[in-house]
C-alpha cells in the first residue's frame, strides 16, 4: 500500500504529540518537519534528515500530500498555508487566530484549488465539535452557543472560587504550573476565546462572523469578593464565549465573564477543562466537554483530521465535501449596547442617608428592575458594598445608570459589573 506523505510545520508540545500519535498509523509517512531550532533536544526518536529550519522545504516538497501546521500566529503561517495549497496540498491546522482573521480568504483559496482545510484542533483541543456540527448535526438549526474555551482562565477562576484567592496570586500559580504564559494577555483578556468563538459560530450559524465585531472582555477585573457574593446568590463566575441568533437571525457574539447558575452544567466545568453547549432545533440543548488543550488531546483532533483526508485521497477527486466552507453570507452583528442581559453589580457606597434612594433613582430612570440586593454591613473605612442583581435590561440603559451612579455623591465606585447568563 502506498503511504500518504505528510509534512509538518512546528514540533512543539502539540507537534510532538501529533508525531507520537501518527506513529501508530503505518499508512502515514512523515516526510519533512520544519522547526525553529534544529539542535533542540526532543523527547522523540527522529532522523535529523527529516528536520529542516526552512518551512518552505515542507510546503514546496512535491511528494507531500498533507501539511500539518501547528506553529500558530498569522505570519508566516498564512503565507505557508497558501503556498502549500497552491502546490496541491491539503491542510490540517490548529491555528485559531489565523482562521479567525483570515479564514474566509483561506477557505476560498482552498476551494479554488480543490483542497481541504481541516481545523478540529483549533477550537477546543481534543473536544470534537466541528465535524459533529458539519455532519451528524447538519439537520439542526443551531441558535445558541455558550462555551468555556480557554483552560487558563477557567483554571484561574476555579482556583479563585475554591481557594478564595486573588486574581494576581492565582495567575502567578498558574504561570508556575505552566497553565499560563509569561505574558498571559492572549488568555486572560479573552483574545484566545474570541478567536475560537468566531470560527465556531461561523460554522454553527452558517454565516461569517467578523472577529472585529465580537465584544471581548477578560477576567482581570474579577475579584475574590465577586466569587463569594456570586456563590451566595447561587452562581459561579466563568469566562463565557457566547454566540446566539435573534428572531431575525442577527448574531450576538461576545466573550466576557458571566455568572452561571449552579444548576447549569457549565457552572461545574472546572480547572483546565473546556466545554461547549449547543442549543437548537430539533436537538435541543447538548454539551461537549473534555480537555481543551495539551499534547495528546490536541494531537487527537489533528490526527483525526489527517486520517479523514488520507482516507479520501484515493477514493475521490473532490474529498470531504461536507467539511468544506459553504458560508458565503456575512452575519449581521448585534452591538453589545443593543443586547439585553441580567447584571451583577458590586457598588461601594458611603455610609450616607439616601444611598438606596440614589440606586433606585438611577435604575428607575433607565428602566432597570432589581431582582436581588445584598448589603453585608459597614467596613472599617465607613463604607459598604451593595450587591445588586438586575432583571433583564438593555445594555445601553445599564451603562447610562452606571454613569449616573458615578456622578452621585453617595457612590464611591463601581467595583464590578458582570453579566448573568440566562
Catalytic residues: 196
Q: How many CB atoms within 10 Å of residue 41? A: 5
Distance of CA 379 to the CA centre of its chain: 38
In contact, 148 and 266? CB cutoff 8 Å: yes
DSSP 330: B
- Coil, strand, or helix at residue 100? helix
Distance CA 3, CA 26 (A): 8
In angstroms, rounded to a whole number, what is the distance separating the alpha carbons of residues 235 and 94? Answer: 33
Whether 4 contacts 28, CB under 8 Å: yes
Burial (0-12, 13-18, 19+ Cβ within 10 Å), 75 = exposed
Q: Dihedral (C-alpha) 208, 253, 205, 76: value to the nearest 10 degrees?
A: 40
CA dist., res. 240 & res. 97, Å (int): 18
Rounded CA-CA distance 240/357 in Å is: 33
Helix axes 191-205, 96-112, angle to 10 degrees: 40
The two beta strands, 117-118 and 215-216, are: unpaired
The span from the CA of 362 to the CA of 406, in Å, is 10
Amino acid at each position: 500500500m502506498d503511504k500518504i506523505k505528510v509534512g509538518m510545520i512546528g514540533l512543539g508540545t502539540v507537534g510532538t504529540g501529533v508525531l507520537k500519535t501518527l506513529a501508530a498509523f503505518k499508512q502515514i509517512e512523515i516526510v519533512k518537519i520544519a522547526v525553529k531550532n534544529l539542535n533542540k533536544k526532543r523527547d522523540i526518536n527522529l532522523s535529523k534528515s527529516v528536520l529542516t529550519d526552512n518551512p518552505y522545504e515542507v510546503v514546496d516538497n512535491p511528494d507531500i500530500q498533507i501539511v500539518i501546521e501547528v506553529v500558530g500566529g498569522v505570519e508566516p503561517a498564512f503565507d505557508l498555508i497558501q503556498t502549500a495549497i497552491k502546490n496541491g496540498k491539503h491542510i490540517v491546522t490548529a491555528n485559531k487566530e489565523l482562521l479567525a482573521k483570515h479564514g474566509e480568504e483561506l477557505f476560498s483559496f482552498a476551494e479554488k484549488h480543490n483542497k481541504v482545510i481541516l481545523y478540529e484542533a483549533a477550537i477546543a483541543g481534543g473536544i470534537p465539535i466541528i465535524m459533529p456540527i458539519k455532519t451528524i448535526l447538519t439537520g439542526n438549526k443551531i441558535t445558541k452557543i455558550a462555551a468555556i474555551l480557554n483552560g487558563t482562565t477557567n483554571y484561574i477562576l476555579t482556583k479563585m472560587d475554591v481557594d478564595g484567592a486573588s486574581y494576581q496570586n492565582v495567575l502567578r500559580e498558574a504561570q508556575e504550573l505552566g497553565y499560563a504564559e509569561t505574558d498571559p494577555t492572549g488568555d486572560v483578556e479573552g483574545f484566545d476565546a474570541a478567536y475560537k468563538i468566531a470560527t465556531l459560530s461561523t460554522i454553527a450559524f452558517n454565516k461569517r462572523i467578523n472577529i472585529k465585531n465580537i465584544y471581548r472582555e477578560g477576567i482581570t477585573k474579577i475579584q475574590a469578593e465577586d466569587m463569594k457574593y456570586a456563590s451566595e446568590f447561587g452562581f459561579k463566575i466563568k469566562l463565557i464565549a457566547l454566540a446566539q441568533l435573534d428572531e431575525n437571525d442577527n448574531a450576538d457574539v461576545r466573550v466576557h465573564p458571566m455568572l452561571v447558575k449552579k444548576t447549569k452544567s457549565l457552572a461545574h466545568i472546572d480547572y483546565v477543562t473546556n466545554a461547549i453547549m449547543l442549543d437548537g432545533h430539533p436537538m435541543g440543548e447538548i454539551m461537549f466537554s473534555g480537555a481543551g488543550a495539551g499534547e495528546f488531546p490536541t494531537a487527537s483532533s489533528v490526527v483525526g483530521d489527517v486520517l479523514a483526508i488520507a482516507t479520501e485521497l484515493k477514493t475521490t477527486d473532490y474529498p470531504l465535501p461536507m467539511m468544506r466552507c459553504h458560508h458565503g453570507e456575512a452575519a449581521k452583528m448585534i452591538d453589545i449596547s443593543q443586547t439585553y442581559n441580567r447584571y451583577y453589580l458590586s457598588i461601594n457606597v458611603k455610609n450616607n442617608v439616601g444611598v438606596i434612594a440614589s440606586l433606585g433613582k438611577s435604575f428607575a430612570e433607565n428602566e432597570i428592575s432589581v431582582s436581588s440586593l445584598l448589603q453585608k454591613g459597614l467596613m472599617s473605612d465607613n463604607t459598604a458594598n451593595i450587591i445588586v442583581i438586575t432583571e433583564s435590561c438593555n445594555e445601553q440603559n445599564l451603562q447610562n445608570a452606571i454613569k449616573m451612579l458615578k456622578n452621585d455623591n453617595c457612590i464611591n465606585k463601581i467595583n464590578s459589573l458582570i453579566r448573568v447568563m440566562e
